[in-house]
DNA sequence: CCCCTTATGCTCAAAATGAGTATATATGGA
DNA sequence: TCCATATATACTCATTTTGAGCATAAGGGG
């Protein structure tokens, strides 16, 4: 016990999500927010230009729980005090993290998903919220299928499939492409965020794959494509981001987590726009309100808001009691049916 | 970096589940399966009699990934080679683990859920599979509400609620009781395994709470009740078990994971019985087959089996292709409706 | 053969879902 | 004032999904 070889450094990182201007955003670390001792550990630009998630090294002396440590790091590095927090995943593969490549300890990263409401001024002015879809341009289907899917991704993945020598493997790759990006018989499944990112990574199309990988295509055109596939991030942070996004989209449907992203009161359209921003798909307005109201998730405050440009909207608030009542349903977004 | 104070020991543990004799079971560590060096670390009976999950200390030198380490430990300690494995949760609260209480390092536990099929002789004869419901007697609702719920748990939780000085808190406790155990308006939700265990722990009713806690009820009757609330386990392993059980029950509904518990071919009744064993509730036979067949999850092999004691059953196999086709639905178990 | 068992096919009502149409009530400009 | 244009909200309707049950098929054992 306690051999040097068996000890491990644990890094805690957060994907803190909010929605503003109809756009899902996440918190990145501010420059100069690190103590000197930590700066070396997490120093930016170690091997790729790109933002980094707020994170830090877990200190068992100081932090009674992992979550406490996480909240402290996020506060130090961004000024934001987190509300709702849930654990996402623990990443521990060798070679994942720059620090251990320099010959340090093995690094384990525990990733968290946090949700905050921008509206209530919780977030200090300096906080650095970046657009999700700037990093995942293929994930926003609110205006229909994004151009980049048909014009760049699908052709590039077809080409990648052809590169395989084995014809079974070619078919497998094509099948993954169709399943991930909703081509042909398959339907777009907004939850498969991680699968899609990993497919693009495996195919060597995103910038991080080109950074990490050896023997990949180094042509200028491959570089141009990578730029169209969103902004890269430090280390494997974009993968963690994809994990968070997928989990959030999934959770939206069976737990009332949207409300963590809302101000205390809101109109049903605001609620709908938030769901749409996160899930990346449009929903049917009338059915959405039917669902939300029938499930008893909200109640009218009685107030009416008329700054909406049309008929004034009723103001609602979340009814947290619902969780203790019967089953707590989330807000389901319906995917278009493609059956017979 | 690398201060002694910041280094952490990482423990990998598995809840390996199978179903045999219509009963969900999980793998426990065999006596004498540990190397001397590890034995001190994980020695049994440190502070409570009870089984332990197979687990071991992650060694970054030896294990390229966490999963590889996990598989090695499970094989060493039980002789079982795991198939399907997924990460559950990382537990890191201070004071959770006996070793750190003796003044050693802080211990982080990464828990995994594994699923195996008993039928194919994968499991060596020595492997030690324990009944899930022996540890969670309140979770098996296949024969209707278990006696222990109405006769022991509900009264004890009501008494616990009364103990609170604050009347709001009393109502809160009662609400949790109703929500967890399906009393009054609430309906039994088989997924809330962890919530239920934690409630019982918080109320000081299970043996582990009496072991860990201070100032709890030490009367003989409390001891008798704890014995009716299932077998305790080492450390917080029963909590990890509850986490796994809840996750498995939940996953059953949206991913075709049951098949990891089945032999390659099976009848629809066998499939149904497996789902029932895990979820702990009965399902409607005709609707179950409708669901499974319509979703395209299985295909008939053409063979017929007539050792069933009635009309011979068609033999089926899993159709893994379904995952790549459209959306991959799981096997939903329906909870009875209690609306209007 | 009857009677037991399990397998499998089919029906039916209730509820949920997807997609509209219709009406209400604000704003701003002709 | 009245209209065009927003959005809000109510209601309808066909289809699908779900929960529940009946009916029939096909084995084995007396």
Instruction: Delimit the domains of chain A by residue range.
Output: 4-132, 137-229, 258-325
B38 confidence band (pLDDT: 50, 70, 90)? low
CA of A231, closest CA in chain B: separation in Å?
28
Task: Check if the beta carbon of residue B113 is closer than 8 Å to that of residue B106.
Answer: no
Range picked from A159-163, A331-335, B322-326 for highest mean pLDDT: A159-163
Range picked from A37-46, A211-220, A247-256, A327-336 for highest mean pLDDT: A247-256
**Averaged pLDDT, A87-105:** 77
Question: Number of C-alpha atoms within 13 angstroms, CB side, residue B186?
Answer: 21
Q: What is the pLDDT of residue A270?
A: 95
DSSP string, B280-319: -S---HHHHHHHHHHTT-EEEEEEEE--SSSSPEEEEEE-
| Residue A88 structure tokens | 């996402």
CA distance B106 to B58: 13
A70 touches chain B (CB under 8 A): no
Q: Please, what's the b/e burial string for B274-288 (b: 16 or more CB within 10 A of its CB; e: otherwise)?
A: bbbbbbbbbbeeeeb
A45 touches chain B (CB under 8 A): no
Distance B188 CA to D12 C1' (A): 35
Nearest to B171 by CA among A299, A324, A317, A326: A324
The CATH fold assigned to A258-325 is Arc Repressor Mutant, subunit A (1.10.10)
A310 touches strand C (CB under 7 A): yes
B309 confidence band (pLDDT: 50, 70, 90)? confident
CA distance B164 to B170: 6
Phi/psi class of residue A310: alpha, beta or left (left: φ > 0; alpha: ψ in -120 to 50)?
beta
Residue for token pair 């050792």: B307
B303 touches chain A (CB under 8 A): no
> In angstroms, how far is CA A44 from the centroid of its own chain?
20
A117 confidence band (pLDDT: 50, 70, 90)? very high
Chain B residue numbers with beta carbons less than 8 Å from the beta carbon of A176 are: 324
Q: What is the pLDDT of residue A298?
A: 95
Probe site for chain A from B3, B5, B6 (most A CB atoms < 10 A):
B6
Could you give the percent of chain A with pLDDT greater than 90? 68
CA distance B57 to B70: 9
Which homologous superfamily does the CATH classification assign to the domain defined by A4-132?
Nucleoside Triphosphate Pyrophosphohydrolase (3.90.79.10)
Write the CB contacts of A124 (distance below 8 Å, at least 6 apart in sequence): A79, A80
**Averaged pLDDT, A229-242:** 95
A39 touches chain B (CB under 8 A): no
Residue for token pair 């590169």: A163
CA of A301, closest CA in chain B: separation in Å?
23
Task: Check if the beta carbon of residue A244 is closer than 8 Å to that of residue A17.
Answer: yes
Nearest to A95 by CA among A212, A14, A15: A212
Nearest to B185 among A2, A179, A325 (CB): A325
Q: Which pairing describes strands B265-266 and B313-318: parallel, antiparallel, or unpaired? A: antiparallel
A36 touches chain B (CB under 8 A): no
Please count the residue pairs, one from chain A and one from chain B, whose beta carbons lie less than 8 angstroms apart. Answer: 131
Chain B residue numbers with beta carbons less than 8 Å from the beta carbon of A168 are: none
B326 confidence band (pLDDT: 50, 70, 90)? low
Nucleotides in chain D with any atom closer than 7 Å to protein CB: 5-12, 16-22, 25-28
B122 confidence band (pLDDT: 50, 70, 90)? low
Nearest to B82 by CA among B115, B111, B60: B115
Helix (H, G, I), strand (E, B) or coil at B116: coil
Closest nucleotide (C1' vs CA) to B312 is D27
Question: Number of C-alpha atoms within 13 angstroms, CB side, residue A93?
Answer: 5
- For A161, A339, B144, B181, the CA distances from A177, given in Å and listed in that order, are 9, 20, 46, 44
Write the CB contacts of A220 (distance below 8 Å, at least 6 apart in sequence): none
Q: Tell me the residues of chain B between 85 and 124 that have a Cβ less than 8 Å away from chain A.
A: 87, 89-90, 92-94, 99, 104-106, 108, 110
Nearest to B186 by CA among A294, A324, A298: A324
Which of the listed CATH numbers 3.90.79.10, 3.30.210.10, 3.50.50.60, 2.160.10.10 matches domain B4-135? Answer: 3.90.79.10
């Amino acid at each position: 016990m306690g051999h040097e070889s068996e000890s491990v450094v644990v890094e805690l990182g957060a994907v803190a999500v909010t929605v503003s201007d109809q756009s899902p955003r996440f918190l990145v670390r501010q420059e100069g927010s690190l103590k000197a001792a930590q700066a070396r550990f997490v120093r930016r630009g170690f091997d790729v230009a790109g933002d980094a998630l707020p994170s830090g090294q877990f200190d068992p002396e100081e932090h009674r729980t992992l979550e406490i440590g996480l909240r402290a790091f996020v506060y130090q590095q961004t000024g934001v005090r987190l509300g709702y927090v849930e654990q996402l995943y623990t990443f521990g593969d060798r070679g994942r993290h720059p620090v251990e490549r320099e010959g340090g300890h093995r690094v384990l990263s525990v990733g968290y998903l946090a949700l905050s409401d921008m509206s209530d001024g919780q977030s200090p002015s300096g906080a650095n919220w970046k657009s999700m879809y700037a990093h995942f341009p293929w994930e926003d289907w609110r205006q229909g299928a994004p151009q980049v899917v048909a014009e760049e991704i699908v052709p590039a993945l077809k080409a990648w499939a052809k590169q395989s020598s084995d014809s079974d493997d070619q078919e497998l790759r094509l099948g993954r492409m169709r399943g991930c990006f909703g081509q042909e018989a398959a339907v777009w499944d907004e939850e498969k965020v991680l699968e899609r990112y990993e497919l693009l990574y495996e195919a060597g199309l995103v910038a991080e794959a080109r950074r990490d990988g050896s023997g990949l295509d180094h042509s200028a055109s491959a570089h141009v494509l990578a730029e169209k596939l969103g902004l890269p991030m430090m280390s494997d942070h974009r993968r963690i981001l994809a994990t968070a996004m997928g989990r959030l989209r999934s959770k939206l449907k069976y737990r009332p987590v949207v409300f963590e992203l809302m101000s205390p009161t809101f109109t049903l359209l605001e609620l709908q726009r938030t769901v749409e921003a996160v899930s990346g798909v449009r929903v049917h307005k009338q059915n959405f309100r039917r669902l939300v109201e029938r499930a008893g998730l909200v109640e009218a405050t009685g107030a009416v808001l008329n700054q909406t440009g049309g008929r004034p909207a009723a103001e609602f608030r979340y009814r947290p009691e619902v969780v203790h009542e019967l089953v707590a349903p989330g807000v389901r977004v319906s995917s278009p049916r493609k059956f017979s």
